Structure 1
Amino acid sequence: MRRDPMLMEAILGQMLQSPEPELGTGGIAQRLNAEGPMIRHHLHLLEDRGWVMETENGAWRLTHAGHDYLEGTPEQGISLRSLG
């Protein structure tokens, strides 16, 4: 499965905008109208970067580093587009 930097950004955006601190894979997939396995794969890639973390109950949350990335400017953070 190919990495999709735009999908990774969309996942992070959904997590940041959510009123809930944790989101399940299915909820993210539904919000983005995407397949669950594709979302899970990209969540794991984001977890590799340290920007999200899977909780004990199987939901996902933004980490401190994930918030820093989303609040930073392109000069301060690592652009996901540069990873593609």
Structure 2
Amino acid sequence: MKRDPMLMEAILGQLLQSPDPLVSASHIAQRLNVEPPVVRHHLSLLQDRQLVDESESGVWRLTNHGHDYVEGTPEQSMALKLSS
């Protein structure tokens, strides 16, 4: 499966905009009209970059580093760009 940087950005946006800090991969997939396995793969890639974290119950959240990246705070300059 190829990495899709636009999908990764969309997933981060969904996590940021969610009223609940914990969101399931299937909920994100439904909101983005993407198959759940594709979303889970991209969530794992985002987790590799420490932008998201999965809880024991299988739901996902933005990490502090993820908030910095999405919100464009000064700490973002230390984050790896998704397209690299």
Q: TM-score, normalised by structure 1?
A: 0.90
User: Higher RCO, 1 or 2 (CA under 8 Å, sep at least 6)?
Assistant: 1
**Corresponding letter in the other structure for 1:30:** Q
What is the CA distance between 1:78 and its match in structure 2? 3.5
Match of 1:41 in 2: 41
Quote the RMSD (CA, aligned, Å): 1.6
Match of 1:18 in 2: 18
Aligned mates of 2:36, 2:30 — CA distance in 1: 8
SS at match of 1:53: strand
SS at match of 1:7: helix
What is the CA distance between 1:79 and its match in structure 2? 2.9
Match of 1:66 in 2: 66
Gaps of 5+ in 2: none
Gaps of 5+ in 1: none
Match of 1:57 in 2: 57
> CA offsets per residue over residues 23-44 of structure 1, 9 Å max, x none?
0010000000000000000000
Could you list the runs of 4 or more consecutive aligned residues of structure 1 that deviate by over 4 angstroms after TM superposition? none
The share of aligned pairs that are identical, in percent, is 63
| Equivalent pairs, count | 82
